[in-house]
Amino acid sequence: MASSNLYTRVRAAEIVNELRANEKKSRSAMFRKTTLKKIVANMTLGNNEMVGLSSEVLAITLDLATDTEVKRLAYLYFSTYYPQRPHDCVDLLPMLEKDFRSQSAVLRSLSIRALATIHIPEFLAKANVLVCEAMADKDPHVRKTGVYAVSRVYGRAPEEVRQQFLKGLNRLLHDPTVFVVAAAVDCLRDLVENHDGLQLSIDRNNCFRILELLAGCDEWSQVSLLNSVMAFVPQTEDDAVFLAEKCIPLLQHGNSSVVLNALKVIVYLSNYVRNFVDVLPAITKRVSGCISNLMSKPAEIQFLTMRNVILLLLDKAEMLDLQVSMFFCQFDDPVYIKDTKLELIFLLANESNISLVLRELEEYALEIDDQMVRKSIRAIGNLAIKIPSVADRSIEVLCGLLASSLPHIVQEVAIILKDILRKYPGKYLYLIDSLVQNVDLLTDSESRGSFIWILGEYCNSIPSSADILFKLYANFDNEPTQVQLTTLTAVVKTYLCSPSKKTESLVLDVLRRTTEEANEPDLRERAYFYWRLLSSHKDIKEIVKPVLPIIEVSSDKLPPEILEELELNIGSLASIYLRPVQQVFRLSKPKRLAVSPALARAESRASSAPFSGPASRNTSATSVYK
């Protein structure tokens, strides 16, 4: 029977009948194995009737005990259904014990793995003993499996067993086989992350020893070992430089995870060296080189890389020297890649590459995808605000785009124009004229709100502002509250700047309507407030329309403590979200740079946030790496 047919849903009763019918036949072993496959395939499909077949599975397993494939499938079955069928699992125990004494390393690993997965009391009791034995096995693969099994059973083990586990793990940190060392480090990190009262630290000699091991081990062990370097706190600048130099070659590894972890270690160490880039001048070229390599990996890895480039640009820009054209969008890039590329183009833009950047952004602004269009227009506007020397050219591009009279372009320009006008008071007023011509296209509330605000604030510069306001006011009742509030303020401002019959009637109408008909308390209160001001007959222009402070670049900076923690988490999920780690993962333990005489910016950071050094947290440090 072809295996793909196994993926058809069957009833438990059918299987029982089939098994019974074939019991006496000659090829029953083959048939029973296929039946087991069928059961596991159905379990995968989510067919929960399979739970009732546990005694049949047990019988097949014990019967075909020489077949490793059968064992694996059976263990998979029981590790899925053991909570419902604990009694059948107990019958597996003798076989597992026998396997653990077998000659084959594969079987020994397999039995340890099964013991550590099925969490019923009988298994756990056995696991506590055998896992310790496995960690002392003569075969490195079994030792490795033993180490990883600890991370499954540690949480349920009694205190004295835990101590034994930790002793065993610490011993294996000096194992002759590198991947066992790596596994032990992995497991310790796992335990520290998930259990209180544990602390991983590593002394100078061991850290240097580990780095020597890096060259001769497989790539996933390299990742684990690199992570263990993060537990070492360099006490002198020389140590930090030496370690960083050792990591630099790994930036050219073919495995993106090794590259990003090496980068994480280098960034971490750079905190312990004053003027890191001057000490290691090659670093900029090497880091930038590894970024461009990662950009030819699959999209998901590109995405992760770019999120981390954003992080580095915010805090460690001196380590990067990147070509902005590397991040230009391809037509067929997924949406998340395009968005992130746009963000990077914005961050990398400067006076020298601005014409290239603007040409590229203009290209995106004329695309069909309106989300992309909006984001690129926003980027052009924000560039004008961020770099004053290129404002003229950015505005020129926006002006050219407005001429297209496409609705989403006009709307987005209206939104960004508000900020531009505030940044450069008195300049670029001609943009308002182009907007006025397209006022009918402002169909979404955000752009209309922004435009109404502009009308009120710059009513002196717009000759027909009162007329346009009058026109927009016609739709007042249907507007969302935010737009209504903006309209109210704009009307009052217009009236104060150019009092006339027309504006007076407008102001009276809006005040009457908002105080008498509006349900929204904020709106009503504000209307009353204006009314009282107006009836005080004083010069209230200064109050209603004060000189606005000039806005600065929208805040693309994160607070230093958050950057610090994110840099210790390069390549992790938090680095994708670029948000404080605890905000996304409530249970994760906070990470901070440990203080040492070499920490380059110890003073500034330590004062900004209360710092809890390892010494103070280290009350019951049980697994100090010595």
Partner 1 sequence: MISAFFVYNGKGEVLISRLFRDGVRRNVCEVFRIQVISKCSDIKSPVLTLGSTSFLHIRHGALWIVAVTRSNVDASVVLEYLHRFVDLLKRLFGLDNVSEDDVKANFPLVYEILDESIESGHVSNMDLSTLQPFLSAQAAEPGRFKNNTASGLLAKAGSIRRKSAGKLPQIINAPLDTTAAPHPWRPQALKYKKNTVQIDVIEDFNLLTTANGFVLRSFVEGRVLMDCRLSGMPTCLFGLVHQNQSDAYQEFKSSDCTFHQCVNLKDFDEHKIIKFIPPDGKFELLSYRTDVDNPPFHVYTTREPHSGGSESSYTVDLESAYPSDVAATNVVLRIPVPQGTAKLRTNTESGKCRLVEEENVVQWSLKKVNGGQKHRLQFAVPNSRADAVAAKPPISLSFSIDSYSVGGHKVKFFKVHEPSMNYATVKSVNYLSRAKSYQIRM
Under the binding rule (CB under 8 A), the answer on residue 198 touching partner 1 is: no
Q: Rounded to the nearest whole angstrom, what is the least distance from the CB of residue 66 to partner 1 in the complex?
A: 11
Q: Judged by CB under 8 A, does residue 256 bind partner 1? A: yes
178 binds partner 1 (CB under 8 A): yes
Instruction: Please answer whether residues 167 and 196 qualify as being in contact, where contact means their C-beta atoms are separated by less than 8 angstroms.
Output: no
Task: Based on the shown chain and the rule CB under 8 A, indicate whether residue 360 belongs to the binding site for partner 1.
Answer: yes
Verify binding: residue 403, partner 1, rule CB under 8 A: no
Q: How many residues bind partner 1 (CB under 8 A)?
A: 108
Binding mask 574-613 for partner 1 (x = CB under 8 A): xxxx---x--xxxxx-------------------------
Q: Does 64 bind partner 1 (CB under 8 A)?
A: no
* CA separation for the pair 110, 72 (Å, rounded): 8
CA distances from 167 to 161, 174, 213, 271, 626 (A): 10, 12, 22, 33, 11
**350: CB partners within 8 A, 6+ apart:** 387
Query: To the nearest whole angstrom, how small is the minimum distance from the Cβ of residue 280 to partner 1?
Result: 13
137, 203, 193, 197: which is closest to 163 by C-alpha?
197
- State which of positions 71-100 bind partner 1 (CB under 8 A): 72-73, 76, 79-80
Q: Which is nearer to partner 1, 296 or 604 (CB)?
A: 296
Q: State the nearest-atom distance from the C-beta of 558 to partner 1, in Å.
A: 16
Non-local CB neighbours of 464 within 8 Å, separated by 6+ positions? 436
Instruction: Provide the Cα torsion 171, 177, 178, 183; round to 10°.
Output: -60
Question: According to CB under 8 A, which residues from 203 to 242 bind partner 1?
Answer: 215-224, 227
Out of 28, 164, 170, 177, point to the residue binding partner 1 (CB under 8 A).
177
Among the listed residues 94, 249, 559, 613, the single contact to partner 1 using CB under 8 A: 249
540 and 534 in contact (C-beta within 8 Å)?
yes
In the block, residue with structure tokens 């955000």: 446
Part of the chain binding partner 1 (CB under 8 A), chosen from 297-305, 378-386, 481-489, 615-623: 297-305
Q: Which of residues 363-392 bind partner 1 (CB under 8 A)?
A: 363, 366-369
> Smallest gap, in angstroms, from Cβ of residue 348 to partner 1?
14
254 makes contact with partner 1 (CB under 8 A): yes
If the CB atoms of residues 244 and 485 are measured against partner 1, the closer one turns out to be 244
Tokens of 601: 């910016």
When asked if residue 330 is in the footprint of partner 1 (CB under 8 A), the reply is yes
How many whole angstroms separate alpha carbon 90 and alpha carbon 24?
27
Compare residues 183 and 269 and give the one whose CB is closer to partner 1: 183
Residue 43 tokens, joined: 């379990």
Contact 169, 188 (CB under 8 A): yes
Q: Which stretch binds partner 1 (CB under 8 A): 145-153, 266-274, 477-485, 593-601?
A: 145-153
| Out of 19, 45, 95, 563, the residue judged to bind partner 1 by CB under 8 A | 45
6 binds partner 1 (CB under 8 A): yes
Q: Give 116 or 240: the residue with its C-beta nearer to partner 1.
A: 116
- Report how far Cα 414 is from the mean position of its chain's Cα atoms: 32
**Under the criterion CB under 8 A, does residue 331 sit at the interface with partner 1?**
yes
Q: Which of 100, 179, 346, 625 binds partner 1 (CB under 8 A)?
A: 179
Question: Residues 334, 400, 499, 613: which binds partner 1 (CB under 8 A)?
Answer: 334
Alpha helix (H) residue ranges in 24-139: 28-45, 54-63, 68-81, 86-90, 93-100, 105-117, 121-134
Give the residue from 616, 623, 601, 606 showing the smallest Cα distance to 276.
601
As a three-state string, the secondary structure of 161-203 is HHHHHHHHHHHHCCCCCHHHHHHHHHHHHHHHHHCCCCCCCEC
* Residue (of 344, 264, 338) closest to 306 by Cα position: 344
If the CB atoms of residues 112 and 469 are measured against partner 1, the closer one turns out to be: 112
